Amino acid sequence: MRILLLFELLIAIAFSGDVVVNCGLKSSSSDRHSEDFVCKNGWKPFESHCYRLFYTPKSWSQAADFCALQGGHLTSIKDEKENDFLKQLVTTTGQQISHWIGGFTGVHSPDQRWTDGSEWQFSSFPMEMVNATSGNATMTSNRCTVVHVVLATSIEWYNDHCGSEWPFICKKNE
């Protein structure tokens, strides 16, 4: 009887479409261990979050809504390590193309913000775009942030009109 139940469970998992991948990645969080850090199929793990690149171009708000439906948000980028991870993720196609991330400036505020509400602590805007006094990108308000693949080996951030359509990167806790 136990073998039959185990077999049925394995069949259900195999055909559910919700295959879970454990990459053995060590999480920076002390409460998460590599053996229990998992992402669903198609999502890539990094430091206790799961990331996925979606190739269908959408406006920034459509992309943000889509990420919310996936249980996440457009990715925030908290430090150089996370930026490097995302660089590897987006440069694998070898194409020079932009991807929406979760940064934006509001209509009434020039300050950069993230869709997940986290504090804006890291930036990778080109120096000619950065305001020396605030550290924010010098763009008009109501702009949204993209990462652009340059020479298939590096990325640059810049702000674009939120209605432009680009592929995008979602991030979620798993």
Residue 77 sits in a domain whose CATH number is: 3.10.100.10
Helices (H), the chain: 2-15, 60-69, 80-91
**Neighbouring-strand partners of residue 158:** 146
Residue 32 domain-assigned (yes or no): no
pLDDT of residue 142: 58
Residue 149 domain-assigned (yes or no): yes
Q: Which amino acid is at 173?
A: N
What is the pTM for the complete model shown?
A: 0.70
Please check the confidence at residue 107 and state whether its pLDDT lies above 60.
yes
pLDDT of residue 138: 42
What distance separates the 2 farthest-apart alpha carbons in the chain? 70
Structure tokens at 132: 């020396």
Residue 23 domain-assigned (yes or no): no
More confident residue, 85 or 17: 85
Residue 6 domain-assigned (yes or no): no
Residue 21 domain-assigned (yes or no): no
pLDDT tens-place string over residues 39-61: 998 999 999 999 999 999 999 99
Instruction: Give the range of the structural domain holding residue 99, as residue numbers without chain letter.
Output: 48-172
Distance CA 168, CA 75 (A): 9
Of 9-13, 48-52, 98-102, 137-141, the one with minimum mean pLDDT is 9-13
| pLDDT, the chain, mean | 73
Give the 3-state secondary structure of residue 172: strand
**Look-up: residue for tokens 């990167």?**
169
pLDDT of residue 53: 94
Please check the confidence at residue 152 and state whether its pLDDT lies above 90.
no
Q: How confident is the model at residue 157 (pLDDT cuts 50, 70, 90)?
A: confident
Please answer whether residues 50 and 172 qualify as being in contact, where contact means their C-beta atoms are separated by less than 8 angstroms: yes
Q: How many domains does the chain have?
A: 1
Distance CA 101, CA 105 (A): 12
Q: Which amino acid is at 3?
A: I
Residue 8 domain-assigned (yes or no): no
Distance CA 168, CA 76 (A): 12
Distance CA 124, CA 101 (A): 12
Q: Which amino acid is at 140?
A: T
Please check the confidence at residue 75 and state whether its pLDDT lies above 60.
yes
- What's the rounded mean pLDDT across residues 168-174? 92
Residue 16 domain-assigned (yes or no): no
Question: CA dist 142 to 21, 35, 107, Å?
Answer: 38, 42, 5
pLDDT of residue 164: 92
Residue 43 domain-assigned (yes or no): no
